[in-house]
A = this chain, B = another copy of it.
Amino acid sequence: MTNTSKLLRNNHCLFLAYDQGFEHGPTDFDEKSVDPSYILNIANESKAYTGIIFHEGIAQSYYDPNTETVPLIVKLNGKTSLHPNEEPYSPQLCSVDEAVKLGATAVGYTIFIGSIYESKMMEEFSRIEDEAHERGLAVILWAYPRGINVIGKEKDKDTVAYGARIALEMGADFVKVPYTGSTESFSWVVKSAGTTRVVVQGGAKVDEQTIFDEAIACKKAGAAGMAIGRNIWQSQDPISVSKKLASIIYEK
């Protein structure tokens, strides 16, 4: 079983994202969700996920590759939310070697599509992609439109499809993108990505039915699955939401 297939169930995927402590800060958390053990527990108990997303330090202290069953996705770069007026750049903060030591099945990296630092992140990602594939890890590109060149167009069909295409052109196994709002537009995103699997980002907490509808629409558009965080661990009943989502994503 390749590392890509370890991240799939019935050829689809559902990733539990927990990099928000880095990207947004602890304000996203409450007394329960601030604890990484709580998140791991949701993953283990719900059996809904084909991957869990951590930064290096949390993987190091909380994820034991010998006992955990949900595959580990190490997010290699990150930035804080303290820079609202700067063009977005997210530096590499964990090497592929470290990810291997932590027992990772895949690595994730964000390119802010449209940022004036886009070329710097592309260069970094191109090296990471080579190293990760060399070491047998799957590669997930967070292709997020951001910055002065794409303001107001972050979820437009053409912008999102461009990000998905870059993932294909650069050799990513998966690309994580925002939802474009309709099955029709999103199916163009999926086509643009070619053999690269498309994963929809969950985003901020919305009501449960909205998430379920989005999952259905994306799946219909040909997406491989979702990466979801706040809509799970900010929920009153994370296990049941996880299970319901899994049933949508994985049903044949």
Contact = CB atoms under 8 A, between A and B. Distances in A.
Contact of A82 (B91, B123, B149, B195): B149
A27 B192 CA distance: 10
Contacts of A19: 169
Interface stretch (A7-15, A159-167, A205-213, A226-234): A159-167
Nearest to A56: B171
Interface residues of A, number: 64
A196 B62 CA distance: 12
Contacts of A166: 22, 80
A116 to B, nearest CB: 6
Interface in A14-47: 19, 21-22, 25-27, 29, 31, 34-36
A123 B57 contact: no
A55 interface: yes
A158 B26 CA distance: 7
A94 B56 contact: no
A93 interface: yes
A91 B130 contact: no
A61 interface: yes
A118 interface: yes
A243 interface: no
Contacts of A159: 82
A73 B42 CA distance: 39
Contacts of A98: 130
B122 A195 contact: no
Given A56-B170, A122-B93, A161 B26 contact: yes
Contacts of A34: 191-192, 194
Contacts of A119: 79, 89-91
A167 to B, nearest CB: 8
30 contacts: A21-B165, A25-B158, A25-B161, A25-B162, A25-B165, A26-B191, A27-B158, A31-B191, A34-B192, A35-B194, A55-B169, A55-B170, A56-B126, A57-B171, A58-B168, A61-B194, A62-B195, A78-B169, A80-B114, A80-B162, A82-B113, A82-B118, A82-B159, A83-B116, A84-B149, A89-B119, A91-B120, A93-B122, A93-B123, A93-B126
